Chain A
Amino acid sequence: MRCLGLVFPQPPHTWAETASNPPLTIRSMSSDASLPPPDFELASAFPEVGWLRQATAARDWAGIRRYADGLPQGTDRAFLVRVVAEVPGVEHFLRELVAAAPDDVLALTTLGTREIEIGWEIRSSARAEHVSREQFRQLHEHLRQAERLLIRATALDPSHDAAWAARLTTAMGLQLGQNEARRRYDRLAAYHPHHLTGQARLLQQLCPKWSGSWEAAHGFARECLLNSPEGSLSGGLVAEAHLERWLDLPSTGSERTDYLRRPHVHAELVEAAERSVLHPYYRPAYGWVTIQGVFAALFSLIGDTARAAAHFRALGNLASEYPWSYLGKPADAYAKHRSAALGRG
Chain B
Amino acid sequence: MSQGIHHTEVDGIPTLFAYATGPMRAGLVFRVGVADETLAGAGITHLVEHLALHRQGLADYHFNGATKAAFTHFHVEGAEHEIVAYLDGVCTSLLDLPMERLETEKEILRTEEARREPGQLPLWRYGAQGYGLVSYPEWGVRGLRPDDVRDWAGTWFTRDNAVLWIAGERLPAGLSLKLPAGQRRPMPAVTSALPTAPAYFSDGKGGVLLDAVVTDTTAARLYAGVLERELSRSLRQEGGYSYTAASDYTSRRDGFATVTAFADALPAKQDAVLGGFVDVLAGLQVGRIAQADLEAVRGRSDATLTAPDAAVRRLPGAAEELLAHRPPRGLEELRAELWAMTPQHVHAVALEAAGTALLQAPSGHRADWAGYTAAPTTSSYAVTGKRFEAVRKDEPAMVVGGEGVSLTAGGEAATVLYSACAALLSWPDGGRRLIGTDGLSVEVEPGEYGIDAHTMATIDAAVHPSAVVQLPPRQQRQQRQSEGAASAGRTAGSAGAVRQKTSARRTGGQTALLVIFGVLAGLWSLLALSYTVFGASDPETSTGEWAALTVFLWAVGALLAWPAVRVVRSTRRG
Question: A residues within 8 Å of B by Cβ?
Answer: 103, 143-144, 147-148, 151-152, 154-156, 158, 170-171, 174, 176-180, 182-184, 186-187
Q: What is the CA–CA distance of A148 and B275 in the complex, to the nearest angstrom?
A: 12
| Chain B min CB distance to A153 (Å) | 9
Q: B residues within 8 A CB of A179?
A: 241, 268-272
Q: Are A183 and B369 in contact (CB under 8 A)?
A: no
Is B278 on the interface with A (CB-CB < 8 A)? Answer: yes
Q: Are B282 and A151 in contact (CB under 8 A)?
A: yes
Q: Are B282 and A152 in contact (CB under 8 A)?
A: yes
Q: What is the CA–CA distance of A114 and B270 in the complex, to the nearest angstrom?
A: 29
8 Å CB contact of B286 from A156, A174, A180, A186: A156
Is B484 on the interface with A (CB-CB < 8 A)? Answer: no
| Chain A min CB distance to B370 (Å) | 6
Is B279 on the interface with A (CB-CB < 8 A)? Answer: yes
Q: What is the CA–CA distance of A178 and B269 in the complex, to the nearest angstrom?
A: 9
Q: Are A180 and B275 in contact (CB under 8 A)?
A: yes
Q: What is the CA–CA distance of A147 and B239 in the complex, to the nearest angstrom?
A: 21
Q: What is the CA–CA distance of A171 and B272 in the complex, to the nearest angstrom?
A: 11
Q: Are A176 and B271 in contact (CB under 8 A)?
A: yes
Interface membership of chain B positions 344-372, coded 1 if the CB is closer than 8 angstroms to chain A and 0 otherwise = 00000000000000000000010011110
| Chain B min CB distance to A172 (Å) | 12
Q: Which 7 A-B residue pairs are closest in the complex by CB-CB distance?
A: A177-B271, A179-B272, A155-B282, A180-B271, A180-B275, A183-B272, A155-B286
Q: Are A151 and B279 in contact (CB under 8 A)?
A: yes
Q: What is the CA–CA distance of A121 and B270 in the complex, to the nearest angstrom?
A: 31
| Chain B min CB distance to A79 (Å) | 24
| Chain A min CB distance to B316 (Å) | 38
Please, which residue of chain B has its CB at the minimum distance from the CB of A183?
A: B272
Q: B residues within 8 A CB of A176?
A: 271, 275, 369
Q: What is the CA–CA distance of A180 and B241 in the complex, to the nearest angstrom?
A: 10
Q: Are A180 and B274 in contact (CB under 8 A)?
A: yes
| Chain A min CB distance to B17 (Å) | 48
| Chain A min CB distance to B367 (Å) | 10
| Chain A min CB distance to B237 (Å) | 13
Q: B residues within 8 A CB of A158?
A: 283, 288
Interface membership of chain B positions 279-316, coded 1 if the CB is closer than 8 angstroms to chain A and 0 otherwise = 10011011010000000000000000000000000000
Q: B residues within 8 A CB of A174?
A: 369
Name 4 extra pairs, CB < 8 A, besides A151-B371, A155-B282. A156-B286, A174-B369, A177-B275, A179-B272
| Chain B min CB distance to A160 (Å) | 12
Is B276 on the interface with A (CB-CB < 8 A)? Answer: yes
Q: A residues within 8 A CB of B285?
A: 155
Q: What is the CA–CA distance of A186 and B237 in the complex, to the nearest angstrom?
A: 13
Best-surrounded residue of B268, B275, B285 (most CB of chain A within 10 A):
B275
Please, which residue of chain B has its CB at the minimum distance from the CB of A182?
A: B272
Q: Are A144 and B271 in contact (CB under 8 A)?
A: no
Complex A-B: 18 CB contacts under 8 Å: A143-B369, A144-B368, A151-B370, A154-B282, A155-B279, A155-B282, A155-B283, A155-B286, A158-B283, A176-B369, A177-B270, A179-B241, A179-B268, A179-B270, A180-B275, A183-B241, A183-B275, A184-B275
Q: A residues within 8 A CB of B278?
A: 151
Q: What is the CA–CA distance of A183 and B270 in the complex, to the nearest angstrom?
A: 11
Please, which residue of chain B has its CB at the minimum distance from the CB of A156?
A: B286
Q: What is the CA–CA distance of A148 and B282 in the complex, to the nearest angstrom?
A: 10
Q: A residues within 8 A CB of B288?
A: 155-156, 158
Q: What is the CA–CA distance of A190 and B269 in the complex, to the nearest angstrom?
A: 19
8 Å CB contact of A180 from B272, B282, B368: B272
Please, which residue of chain B has its CB at the minimum distance from the CB of A147?
A: B369
8 Å CB contact of A154 from B241, B270, B274, B279: B279
Q: What is the CA–CA distance of A148 and B365 in the complex, to the nearest angstrom?
A: 17
Q: Are A144 and B369 in contact (CB under 8 A)?
A: yes
Q: Are B276 and A147 in contact (CB under 8 A)?
A: no
Q: Are A103 and B370 in contact (CB under 8 A)?
A: no
| Chain B min CB distance to A99 (Å) | 16
Q: Are A147 and B370 in contact (CB under 8 A)?
A: yes
Q: B residues within 8 A CB of A182?
A: 272
Q: A residues within 8 A CB of B272?
A: 177, 179-180, 182-183
Q: What is the CA–CA distance of A151 and B367 in the complex, to the nearest angstrom?
A: 13
Interface membership of chain B positions 197-208, coded 1 if the CB is closer than 8 angstroms to chain A and 0 otherwise = 000000000000
Q: Are B274 and A148 in contact (CB under 8 A)?
A: no
Please, which residue of chain B has its CB at the minimum distance from the CB of A179?
A: B272
Q: Are A148 and B286 in contact (CB under 8 A)?
A: no
Chain B 219-269 interface residues, beta-carbon cutoff 8 Å to A: 239, 241, 268-269
Q: A residues within 8 A CB of B370?
A: 147-148, 151
| Chain B min CB distance to A116 (Å) | 13
Q: A residues within 8 A CB of B241?
A: 179, 183
Q: What is the CA–CA distance of A151 and B288 in the complex, to the nearest angstrom?
A: 13
Q: Are B271 and A186 in contact (CB under 8 A)?
A: no
Q: Are A148 and B371 in contact (CB under 8 A)?
A: yes
Q: Are B239 and A186 in contact (CB under 8 A)?
A: yes
Q: A residues within 8 A CB of B276?
A: 183
Q: B residues within 8 A CB of A156?
A: 286, 288
Please, which residue of chain B has its CB at the minimum distance from the CB of A187?
A: B279
Please, which residue of chain A has its CB at the minimum distance from the CB of B282?
A: A155
Q: What is the CA–CA distance of A147 and B369 in the complex, to the nearest angstrom?
A: 7
Q: What is the CA–CA distance of A173 and B556 in the complex, to the nearest angstrom?
A: 47
| Chain A min CB distance to B230 (Å) | 11
8 Å CB contact of B239 from A144, A171, A183: A183
Q: Are B268 and A152 in contact (CB under 8 A)?
A: no
| Chain A min CB distance to B366 (Å) | 9
| Chain A min CB distance to B449 (Å) | 31
Q: B residues within 8 A CB of A154?
A: 279, 282
Q: B residues within 8 A CB of A144?
A: 368-369
Interface membership of chain B positions 4-32, coded 1 if the CB is closer than 8 angstroms to chain A and 0 otherwise = 00000000000000000000000000000
Please, which residue of chain B has its CB at the minimum distance from the CB of A190?
A: B238
Q: A residues within 8 A CB of B269?
A: 179
Please, which residue of chain B has its CB at the minimum distance from the CB of A178?
A: B271
| Chain B min CB distance to A201 (Å) | 15
Chain B 379-438 interface residues, beta-carbon cutoff 8 Å to A: none
Please, which residue of chain B has its CB at the minimum distance from the CB of A184?
A: B275
Q: What is the CA–CA distance of A77 and B239 in the complex, to the nearest angstrom?
A: 25
Q: A residues within 8 A CB of B369?
A: 143-144, 147, 170, 174, 176
Q: B residues within 8 A CB of A170?
A: 369
Q: What is the CA–CA distance of A156 and B347 in the complex, to the nearest angstrom?
A: 13
Q: What is the CA–CA distance of A158 and B268 in the complex, to the nearest angstrom?
A: 25
Q: A residues within 8 A CB of B239?
A: 183, 186
Interface membership of chain B positions 435-460, coded 1 if the CB is closer than 8 angstroms to chain A and 0 otherwise = 00000000000000000000000000
Please, which residue of chain B has its CB at the minimum distance from the CB of A174?
A: B369
Please, which residue of chain B has its CB at the minimum distance from the CB of A151?
A: B282
Q: What is the CA–CA distance of A36 and B368 in the complex, to the nearest angstrom?
A: 50
Q: What is the CA–CA distance of A186 and B241 in the complex, to the nearest angstrom?
A: 12
Q: A residues within 8 A CB of B268?
A: 179
| Chain B min CB distance to A190 (Å) | 8
Please, which residue of chain A has its CB at the minimum distance from the CB of B371?
A: A148
Q: What is the CA–CA distance of A144 and B369 in the complex, to the nearest angstrom?
A: 5
Q: B residues within 8 A CB of A148?
A: 370-371
Best-surrounded residue of A155, A170, A186 (most CB of chain B within 10 A):
A155
| Chain A min CB distance to B279 (Å) | 7
| Chain B min CB distance to A165 (Å) | 15
